[in-house]
Amino acid sequence: MPTKKAKKKNVTKKGYTAKVRNEAMHLIFEEKLTLKEVAAKSGCSVNTIQSWKKRHTPAEAEVPVPKKSTRRKASKPQPKKVAAKSQIAFDDFVRNYWNEGKKAVDVLLLPQEISQLVSQYVNEALRYAYDQLRK
């Protein structure tokens, strides 16, 4: 008849009581001993003391501290790379600008003297941009 295998406990792993852990944290935080000294006094490894220290929160420090936001800041959009010389005529360049979105309609809805100035300034800026692209 097959016998059930008994679960083997990990022989190398020691179970420390809460009293030992609390005493170790007392030595670290209040007596200001090093991890190595505390490990020697407690009879456990430095790694064990480190893990206890990470999980330990002193009574005074139980007030939650707001974490810094982990969201990334939005980076500025990089300009698109353009071919060395523009293959488009200036008139088409301007027409493409005005055809995108509601820009032309918005300018037309302004009073006439303002819309003419806006159109003039935009066209001058487009001329400059077009000339820079052609260089």
pLDDT in tens, 56-106: 776 544 455 556 666 666 666 666 655 555 577 877 777 777 777 666 777
Output the pTM of the full model.
0.35
Tokens (6 digits) for 10 = 């990990």
Query: Which has the minimum average pLDDT: 11-20, 28-37, 39-48, 112-121?
Result: 11-20
Alpha carbons 115 and 127: distance in angstroms, whole number: 18
Alpha carbons 117 and 107: distance in angstroms, whole number: 10
Is 126 or 57 the better-scoring residue by pLDDT?
126
Closest C-alpha to 23, from 38, 12, 35, 10: 38
* Extents of the domains making up the chain: 18-61, 90-134
